[in-house]
Chains A and B, each alone.
Chain A
Amino acid sequence: MVNIRYAKDNFELAENQSVLDCLTGRGVPVPFSCRSGVCQTCLMRATGGTPPESSQNGLKDTLKLQNYFLACICHPTADLEVAMPNDDDVQAVIPATVKSLKLLNSEIMHVVLECHAPIDYRAGQFINLFQNQSIGRSYSLASVPHEDDHLHLHVRRLPQGRVSGWIHEELRPGETVEIRGPGGDCFYIPGNAEQGLVLIGTGSGLAPLYGIIRDALSQGHTGPIHLFHGSRDLNGLYLTGELRDLVEQYSNFNYVPCLSGGDVPHGFAAGRADDVAFQQIPNLKNWRMFLCGHPDMVKAAKMKAFMAGASMKDIYADAFNVSQSS
């Protein structure tokens, strides 16, 4: 007999019953539409146990790896603990000590955190960092597991930003904060090592990309890797030295810093990062795309990348939405 555990309730799975039918039959409001494993409306996540491979058919690889599944075609043969994809409560809060704080440019702080408990993450995912019990913000991870000892964040100070202001002004090394995570499906997956990668980021959208690039390189990615990092002016760019060092070190890595403001010195591309990228690589068929940063850029670039030939399953994106409750 198989049991489905959802939000502390146990439901017995009847013979030939799907997880969707089991849960909705007992009044759990799981959204659904096609009931045939295609539309992905009933996407759920296993937080305990492993969902059958057949229930992950058609899902993005990054979701499969995190045990997401489609409830309507899920017929597990062993107990499964499940959650809705947006249930925040499924992860425990972990304390972390601030190891260092260093400005990367005038508005972006490099925050290094040492977790008190191990955290299993992939470069490019994000964590939530809490100022107190009720206020937290999502920050992308620029660090790479096995390469970096601690978690690295790039925190941009937002005008009137409550949490970013606190991190920039008040937080000190040695203090302990609470984090929860990781989350997000914008990360590198090994395999298809010859595939070309295009990474486009604005502002602190470089954080996940910096992690993804170093992750891909350390896992032996051989295909070309093009990073387009954009800002209005020179002050907005950062880690330029580190990135130029990576170019020296890896012949398949290419770094294009882009400036959309007026003054463009030698060695920088003129224009917005996404425009420069699509000019330089007009045909994106078979390329893998990573898009991070300003929500408008991410949205527009996603559409442009798709229309330029990139497959939907090869487009990974993380839009940095600014919290309204500042």
Chain B
Amino acid sequence: MSQQESLYEKLGGEAAVNAAVDIFYRKVLSDNRISSFFEGVDMEKQAAKQKSFLTMAFGGPHNYSGLDMRRGHAHLVERGLNDSHVDAVIEDLGATLRELNVSEELIAQVAAIAESKRNDVLGR
């Protein structure tokens, strides 16, 4: 076991994900740049997906492969999902963490993890 605290632990683990998920989902839904992608979806299922995303971005345990990311977003890419939308999500993620008083240093680390999924999400 590493003596160093992981990013996930520094952020507060599962409790931090739970604290962030409602705030993040609200930001996404009220963000005109991306809200149309969430129209008509089952909110409960979507909240669980947001939680999976946050767990991953916080450096927590997950089993998503690059292929999973491609498959999971292919229908959105068909509807026009592009870089500007990924930018919006990463911005909303940062704003969520700022609201929870997370340091800029850790926010940058979270953003970097999210950034590393960009090409898979956009299917390229």
Contact = CB atoms under 8 A, between A and B. Distances in A.
B55 interface: yes
Interface residues on B, range: 20 to 34
B62 A34 contact: yes
B43 interface: yes
B43 A34 contact: no
B33 interface: no
B26 interface: yes
A58 B29 contact: no
A302 interface: yes
A306 interface: yes
B51 A33 contact: no
| Secondary structure type dominating chain B contacts | helix
Contacts, number: 46
A40 interface: yes
Interface string A288-299: 000000000000
A303 B52 contact: no
A38 interface: yes
A34 B50 CA distance: 12
Q: How many residues of A sit at the interface, in one of the four size bands?
A: 10 to 19
B26 A33 contact: no
Contacts of A38: 48, 51-52, 55, 62
Given A311-B22, A312-B44, A35 B63 contact: yes
B66 interface: no
Contact of B29 (A34, A41, A303): A303
B26 A307 contact: yes
B56 to A, nearest CB: 8
Contacts of A311: 22
Given A40-B48, A312-B43, A312-B47, A34 B26 contact: no
Interface of B: 18, 21-22, 25-26, 29-30, 43-45, 47-49, 51-52, 55, 61-64, 68, 72
Given A39-B51, A41-B48, 14 more contacts: A33-B52, A33-B72, A35-B63, A38-B48, A38-B55, A39-B52, A58-B48, A306-B26, A307-B26, A307-B30, A311-B22, A312-B22, A312-B25, A312-B43
What 6 A-B pairs have minimum CB-CB distances, sorted nearest first? A35-B63, A40-B48, A39-B52, A312-B47, A38-B52, A34-B52
